[in-house]
């Protein structure tokens, strides 16, 4: 008769995976020489990893390069990396789908933080202030009107336009019969 677990909590699985030993064969492609550890990350760590994968995707890294980096840093499997990649892509799509006002508010907060950071170089703080001005439209282009003396319109005089086709028509009309005789 099998022991019943009804009403009793089941024992938790051992998080020390049997796959934590170094690999014994060379068939791992881009992967490092260690197998995944089998230890699951906490929620905050998982979120951090997904954001890291999203940053790598945005920086132009290919999936294989990201998988190799994730395995080297965290010893995760290819399947886990694929999960990270799909969640990172969903996160990027979610960011793109936000309204402009949300992006603008986020940027404003970031620039504001940078402009008040006492440890940042003065050039970075100044650039952050310029970006805030651009974001809020404080440095909107100013209209400039060019005019002549005392605000009068600019006089151009007689403007002659030379068009090759117009000149050809004038020559034909001058000859009368359409013959192109040069004299």
119 vs 148, higher pLDDT: 119
**Is pLDDT above 90 for 52?**
yes
Domain ranges for the chain, please list them. Answer: 19-97, 100-136
Tokens coding 104: 């603008």
* Cross-strand pairs, 22: 34
Q: What percent of the chain has pLDDT over 90?
A: 30
Q: Would you say the C-alpha torsion 169, 172, 174, 177 has a positive or negative sign?
A: negative
Q: What pLDDT was estimated at residue 96?
A: 84
At 20-51, the pLDDT tens digits run 444 444 444 444 445 556 678 888 999 999 99
Q: What pLDDT was estimated at residue 70?
A: 92
132 vs 149, higher pLDDT: 132
């Amino acid at each position: 008769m099998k022991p019943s677990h009804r009403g009793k909590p089941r024992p938790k699985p051992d998080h020390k995976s049997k796959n934590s030993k170094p690999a014994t064969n060379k068939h791992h492609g881009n992967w490092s020489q260690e197998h995944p550890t089998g230890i699951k990350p906490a929620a905050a760590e998982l979120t951090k990893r997904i954001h890291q994968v999203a940053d790598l995707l945005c920086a132009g890294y290919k999936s294989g390069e990201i998988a190799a980096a994730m395995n080297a840093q965290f010893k995760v499997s290819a399947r886990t990396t694929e999960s990270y990649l799909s969640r990172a892509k969903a996160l990027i799509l979610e960011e793109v789908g936000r309204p402009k006002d949300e992006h603008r508010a986020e940027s404003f907060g970031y620039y504001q933080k940078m402009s008040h950071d006492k440890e940042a170089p003065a050039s970075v703080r100044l650039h952050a202030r310029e970006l805030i001005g651009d974001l809020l439209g404080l440095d909107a282009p100013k209209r400039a009107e060019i005019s002549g003396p005392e605000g009068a319109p600019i006089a151009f005089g007689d403007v002659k336009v030379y068009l090759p086709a117009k000149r050809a028509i004038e020559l034909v009309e001058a000859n009368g019969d359409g013959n192109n005789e040069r004299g």
